[in-house]
């Protein structure tokens, strides 16, 4: 198994998803390569207390979004794939149309052409027809559209728990088994039993 993953963070709400992915991947012994868009840096200042330096320190290597000559732009640089969390509509649209104006969209394009895993945690709602068509195009090309929808059946006690579970589900798609609460028969039984005591 290739233990090298590209993490993209684009300019949409939910930078915490990308941060948690980096934290989990480091714990699991994965080598991470990070690309952060300029709008994502702006969102970072609005939504979090993270500094640019702290965000950068979570990855093994940070690549400038303008560095089209980066190793991430070459299919010969082997990775398990790329997770963009969060993924803006602009980034998704560039990938869907094959426009590779930045390293973010170029790296995603390389992942697709090499038949590796691409997962986009799209942050947008409601969706118009153009969004849906872009999502269809990426799916047809082999990518996975995974909006970060919280699993409320687990009765999360914090936003952090919801973020962690959602990121763990995204990392499932790369074959990574993160230790989080999951729906199973045992859990289902405990929920039923707790309802009977109410």
pLDDT digits (tens, 9 = 90+) for 81-140: 999 999 999 999 999 999 999 999 999 999 999 999 999 999 999 999 999 999 999 999
Domains, the chain, with CATH or none:
4-196 (3.40.50.1950)
**∠ at Cα 93 (173, 35), nearest 5°?**
60
Does the pLDDT value for residue 194 go beyond 70? no
- Tally the C-alpha atoms within 13 A of residue 130's C-alpha that lie toward its C-beta: 7
State the average pLDDT over residues 14-33: 97
For residue 10, give the nearest of 51, 49, 40, 46 by alpha carbon. 40
Does the pLDDT value for residue 198 go beyond 80? no
DSSP state of 12: S
Measured in whole angstroms, the distance separating CA 194 from the mean position of its chain's CA atoms is: 34
Q: How far apart are CA 63 and CA 61, in angstroms?
A: 7
Please tell me the pTM assigned to this model.
Answer: 0.92
Q: Which residue has the tokens 């995603």?
A: 108
């Amino acid at each position: 198994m290739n233990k090298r993953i590209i993490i993209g963070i684009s300019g949409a709400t939910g930078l915490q998803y990308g941060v948690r992915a980096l934290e989990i991947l480091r714990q699991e012994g994965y080598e991470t390569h990070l690309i952060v868009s300029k709008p994502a840096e702006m969102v970072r200042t609005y939504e979090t207390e993270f500094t640019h330096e702290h965000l950068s320190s979570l990855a093994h290597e940070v690549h400038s979004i303008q560095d089209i000559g980066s190793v991430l732009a070459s299919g010969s640089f082997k990775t398990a794939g790329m997770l963009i969390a969060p993924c803006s509509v602009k980034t998704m649209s560039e990938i869907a149309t094959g426009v590779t104006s930045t390293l973010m969209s170029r790296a995603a394009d390389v992942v697709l052409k090499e038949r590796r895993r691409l997962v986009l945690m799209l942050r947008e709602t409601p969706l118009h027809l153009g969004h849906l068509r872009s999502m269809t195009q990426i799916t047809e090309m082999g990518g996975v559209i995974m909006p970060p929808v919280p699993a409320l059946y687990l009765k999360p006690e914090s936003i952090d728990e919801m973020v962690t579970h959602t990121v763990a589900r995204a990392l499932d798609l790369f074959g990574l088994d993160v230790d989080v609460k999951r729906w199973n028969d045992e859990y289902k039984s405990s929920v039923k039993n707790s309802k009977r005591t109410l």
